[in-house]
Each structure stands twice: as structure tokens, then as C-alpha cells.
Amino acid sequence: MEVLNQLIPESLSLPVAVFLLASSTITSMITASLGAGGGVLLLVLMASWMPPAAIIPVHGMIQLGSNVGRAALTWRNIDWRVIAAFLPGVIVGAALGAWLLVNLPAHIWQLTIALFVLYLCWGPALPKGAFGAPGVFLASALTSFVSLFVGATGPLVAAFIKQIHTDRFRTVATFATAMTLQHAPKALVFGAAGFMFFEWLPFILAMIACGFAGTWLGLHVLRSLSNSKFTLIFNIVLTALAIRLLWQANLSAGWW
């Protein structure tokens, strides 16, 4: 019990910290087995109890660790051609985001991401040229820029990568690597902006460890799914996340 207390920042109670650690395991299992969804669910849970200023930076570091673990366990399936085009886009998008680190209208980003996710899941397939190096670079730059402000671009990246691959392990592995790259700059950006990561570091590391256990369990579930069943479930999960973003956009803008 005393060890747990040492891991917990002053702003969290012990029961809440234990709940979030368990949630890290479960949400990582969801992402590893279904392709997406766990990161956003964890973000919602963290937002219910954590200080607002800590949510995006801490969530970003936890997701960085979780995606590193998922990429490491599936490294043989990573599409390095896609990642080679994705990396420069992350650098450009993060640099622009750091330069323009201001309060942008959340509902605009939420609405845009949701509509793109729904289109990529259920609309006509994008032209093949969209999945070449220029298309991947553009998608990476835009989502990396937006992720610094809303922290909810995972579904859009997942929907984009889903259109490139039909193999479930290739999709999960490439998505995990892409999100590793996208979350990495957040430490530098938010650190430069004055966020004190040191206070949260033990808790972040404990969340990452719990997430790794969830990833290991989730990949065992993934092996039991066919590619067609995975694609259907993946689309349903992404659609649910898009609907949630539409609802958030409505609440942010006060449309009805």
C-alpha cells in the first residue's frame, strides 16, 4: 500500500489511481484486440478525475509507452514503408503545433475528425494515390498538429491505416508504430510549455506497465479473429468513437 502511495500524485486518491491502473490494462487489451478504442476510452476515464492541465500531457506519455509495447510485440508486421512517410509528417505537424500552441475551437477539430473517420470507414475507398508517400505524409502532419490540441486523433490515424491494409496484425502493428511517433513529441512540446512531468512520472510508468500486460492479452484475442471479422469490429469501434466526437462537438459548440 505504501508503494502505491509513492506512485500517486497528490491530486489523485488511492482508489482512483488503482482504478486507472486497472483501466490501463483493460483499454490496452481493447486496442490490441480490436485495433482502436482503448486510448480514447482511457482519455475519457482520466478526464473524469485528473486535473485538466495534466490530462493531455499525461495521457500522451501513457499512450506513447503503450504503443511502444504494442509495436515491440508485433514488430514483424510493421509496414516500414508507411512509417518512413509518416515520420516526417509527425515532425512537421508537431513543429507547427508547438509554434501555434494556443486554444483553438475544439468543436471544429472534433467535427472534422469525426466526419473523416466515418468517411474512411463507410464511404468510397480513397484513390490509391492517397496512400502513397505524399498522402501518408499529409495525413501524419495534419493529425500530429491536431493531436497537440484535442488528443483524439487516434481514430483518424487508425481509419487511414485500415484503408491501406487488410491484414489485422499489419494494421495493429503499423498503427501502434505511427501513434508511437505521434505521441513522442508531446513530451518536448508540453515540457517546453512548462508542464512538470516529474511529479507524474512514477504513475505514468505504472500505467505503461499495466498497459503492456493488457497488450499481451489483447494480441492473444486478436489471433482468434479472422481478418474479415476484425475489419467489421474495427469499423464499428471507430464509428462509435466518431459518434462520440460528434456529440462532444455539439456540447462544445452548444448547437442543440
Tens digits of per-residue pLDDT, 28-78? Answer: 988 888 777 787 788 778 877 777 777 778 887 888 888 899 899 888 999
Whole-structure pTM over 0.85, yes or no?
no
Which string of DSSP letters, residue by residue, matches the chain?
-HHHHHHS-TTS-HHHHHHHHHHHHHHHHHHHHHSSSHHHHHHHHHHHHS-HHHHHHHHHHHHHHHHHHHHHHTGGG--HHHHHHHHHHHHHHHHHHHHT-S---HHHHHHHHHHHHHHHHHSPPPPGGGGSHHHHHHHHHHHHHHHHHHS--HHHHHHHHHHH--SHHHHHHHHHHHHHHHHHHHHHHHHHTT---GGGHHHHHHHHHHHHHHHHHHHHHHHTS-HHHHHHHHHHHHHHHHHHHHHHHHHHHT--
Percent over 90 (pLDDT), the chain = 11
Spell 163-181 as b/e; 16+ CB within 10 A means b: ebbeebbbbbbbbbbbbbb
Query: Which band of pLDDT confidence, cut at 50, 70 and 90, is reported for residue 24?
Result: very high
What's the gap between Cα 205 and its chain centre? Answer: 17
Query: What pLDDT is recorded for position 98?
Result: 67
What local confidence, expressed as pLDDT, does residue 164 receive? 83
Query: What sign does the dihedral 252-204-10-18 (CA atoms) show?
Result: positive
Q: Comparing C-alpha atoms, which of 6, 4, 36 is closest to residue 22? A: 4
pLDDT over 60 (residue 1): no
Cell, residue 195: 508542464
Provide the mean pLDDT of the chain.
80
d(CA 199, CA 87): 30
Residue 213 has pLDDT above 90, yes or no: yes
Q: What is the pLDDT of residue 193?
A: 62
Distance CA 138, CA 119 (A): 17
Q: Which residues contact 236 (CB under 8 A, 6 or more apart)?
A: none
pLDDT at 103: 58
Residues 6 or more apart whose Cβ sits within 8 Å of residue 252: 105, 106, 107, 110
pLDDT digits (tens, 9 = 90+) for 115-172: 877 877 777 776 666 677 888 888 888 888 877 666 567 777 888 888 887 788 898 8
16 pLDDT more than 80: yes
Q: Angle CA(44)–CA(48)–CA(52) in degrees, nearest 5?
A: 95
Q: Is residue 248 very low, low, confident or very high in pLDDT (cuts 50, 70, 90)? A: confident
**pLDDT computed for residue 100 by the predictor:** 67
Q: Is the pLDDT higher at 4 or at 69?
A: 69
The pLDDT, as a whole number, for residue 80 is 92
* pLDDT number for residue 151: 58
Amino acid at residue number 228: S
Residue 253 scores a pLDDT above 60: yes
pLDDT in the model for residue 108: 74
Region 89-110: mean pLDDT is: 73
C-alpha cell at 208: 505503461
- pLDDT category of residue 230 using cuts at 50, 70 and 90: confident
